[in-house]
A = this chain, B = another copy of it.
Amino acid sequence: MDLSEFELIGRITGKAGGADRFVTGIGDDAAVIRTRGRIVTSVDTAVEGVHFQPGRPARENARKAIASAISDLAAMGVGEGEKEILVALGAPADTSGEYLEELADGVVEAAASFGAELAGGDVVSSPVLFLSVTVIAHVGEDVPLVGRGGAKPGDVVAVTGPVGGAAGGLALLNGTEVPDLSDLSRQLLVDCQVNPEPRLGAAPVLARCGATSMIDVSDGLSADLGHVAESSGVTIRLEAAEIPVVPGVPEVAAALGVPSLSFALTGGEDYVLALTIPQDRFEEADSALIEATGFELLAVGAVESSEGGRGKVTIETADGIEPPAPEGFDHFSGPDIGSR
């Protein structure tokens, strides 16, 4: 490793914003930050070879790790307001100074692009490259937030955009040959994989419009809605025909000989929001979402009561209703073995 402690932290420190709420900024033993009554906080980790492919650009890795962590805030209804990140970076001792500089710059740029200030950093020697990102958002007492446990029978299940794109992009990066895919579709899918966007614009709109539960699609629609079903004690019934997939996914799926629904359900890393909302508030939420983000709210199913309150997800296809978890897709299942 070429950069000493001081140089790398200094590089980050020199570019960190230092908003007014910082009593003490990055560079001391700890940061001291004034709050607005409540904080929303979560941690998310990305490991090279598990969450991002070896050899990808440093800036891309930094941005993806931070986007994934910020997305957990969006899942709670947090928007573009005051927030911080703390980044723990593990890097092999032979990592080049150039790569580390790119990582540091990528961290600073990604934080800024998501409206976050850097509040802490730790750089350690590690046999494998990893980034562990803690996010902290400041929200007043009156700001509505949405957990996983409020879905009610009769609610509509909806998503803020198409899914399966990140898994499609990963298949392309892994060398899947799809001759009939346009360059534009190819670029879009790879972008879904390497350049995900947390839905900070959509999240507070949906929280204000009465979403009863919300989650970001990180592990795949069926696993993530499974968490909602479990926390809420309901059955979530998805209608296969309504689930929107990113353009190009059907072609990649066909090349691999699997249904594109599998990409949608188990692909993950899409970071769209999946939510439940009372039927009589759906249109209001749809209009507000279009006004705020330009995108429609897409209904994909319904919440039903569950026998004994045990949560589950079912899929209604042309062949009937069945549980999800198509076989043979372990290579698309989220690399996390536990993520909150």
Contacts and interface: CB of A to CB of B under 8 A. Distances in A.
A4 B128 CA distance: 23
Interface residues of A, number: 75
Nearest to A148: B28
A145 B126 CA distance: 32
B132 A122 contact: yes
Interface in A68-107: 72-73, 75-76, 78, 84, 86-88, 90
Interface string A18-54: 0000011011111111110111111111110111000
Interface stretch (A5-13, A152-160, A314-322): A5-13
Contact of A76 (B28, B35, B121, B128): B28
Nearest to A147: B28
Nearest to A93: B337
Contacts of A88: 43-45, 88, 132, 134
Contacts of A255: none
A93 B215 CA distance: 27
Contacts of A45: 88, 90, 122, 124, 132
B29 A72 contact: yes
Contacts of A40: 30-33
Contacts of A9: 338, 340
Given A41-B84, A88-B88, A337-B4, A30 B123 contact: no
Nearest to A230: B6
Given A24-B147, A337-B1, A41 B33 contact: yes
A125 interface: yes
B86 A47 contact: no
B337 A76 contact: no
A135 interface: yes
Contacts of A27: 231, 340
24 contacts: A3-B338, A24-B147, A28-B147, A30-B78, A30-B137, A30-B340, A31-B42, A32-B39, A32-B40, A33-B40, A34-B37, A35-B37, A39-B136, A41-B84, A41-B120, A44-B122, A46-B124, A51-B124, A123-B336, A123-B337, A125-B335, A127-B127, A127-B128, A130-B130
Closest 6 CB pairs between A and B? A123-B338, A5-B338, A30-B42, A29-B75, A132-B132, A134-B134
Given A24-B76, A31-B40, A34-B38, 20 more contacts: A5-B338, A27-B231, A27-B340, A28-B148, A30-B72, A31-B42, A33-B39, A34-B37, A39-B39, A43-B88, A45-B122, A47-B124, A47-B127, A50-B124, A50-B125, A50-B126, A122-B340, A124-B336, A125-B337, A127-B127
Interface of A: 1, 3-6, 8-9, 23-24, 26-35, 37-47, 49-51, 72-73, 75-76, 78, 84, 86-88, 90, 119-128, 130, 132, 134-137, 139, 141, 145, 147-149, 214-216, 231, 335-340
